[in-house]
Amino acid sequence: MRKFRLKFAGAAALMGLFVWSASCAEEARRAPPPLVEARSSGQSETAVLAGGCFWGVQGVFQHVEGVSGAVSGYAGGAAASAHYQSVGGGGTGHAEAVRVTFDPKKIGYGEILQIFFSVAHDPTQLNRQGPDSGAQYRSAIFPTNAEQERVAKAYVAQLDRARVFGAPLATTIEPGKSFYPAEAYHQDYLTHNPESPYIAINDLPKLEALKRHFPELYREKPELVAP
């Protein structure tokens, strides 16, 4: 709920958050590519990722070449509690997540994870992301099959061994969990609300980081849920 309250924050508070966000954007880096990549022969695959507020994570992947869709939603808990008012309490087991649909002939699952760790969020933060705190904002990967689980585990271990982020990753790997799309008003939120203080401070810098660190995968026009 914190993100909805930011528009009422005072100028000093907003300036402090802006400075924090700018610092985080400068610290964003292109993580090394995974040494293990997924094997795929399909036309389309999905990845489910959680990295704090789903607005920013969805916005990042909507600008990635090879991605045909990115949907905000919930993963980790039961279907009955997969709605914003319940998830916001932090006790449902859900994380705010994004289901990314991609063409494995254009971009690999490992590359999706590389972007996720590099610019979509800070994987060292435990049960929080920026101004948002609680288990619903945890860093998590929800593999959709055994091959994705294999790649995700190998990549987390690789990044931890190399101390890429200067601290251990807090990212959990949670297989066997269902994804539930979020309410319509959460979809394409970054695109429709670029002047929102929350988006401007926390999420637009992620797009700049994507453009800077992954120019070969960045596309200007987002792939929206409701074009």
- Residues tagged active-site: 53
Name 183's Cβ contacts closer than 8 Å, sequence gap at least 6: 83, 84
Q: Are 39 and 52 in contact (CB under 8 A)?
A: no
Distance CA 131, CA 19 (A): 13
User: Strand 128-129 and strand 95-102: pairing?
Assistant: unpaired
Distance CA 122, CA 85 (A): 25
Contacts by 83-86 with C-beta closer than 8 Å and gap 24+?
83/183, 84/182, 84/183, 84/186
Q: Are 78 and 92 in contact (CB under 8 A)?
A: yes
Distance CA 174, CA 153 (A): 10
Q: Are 60 and 8 in contact (CB under 8 A)?
A: no
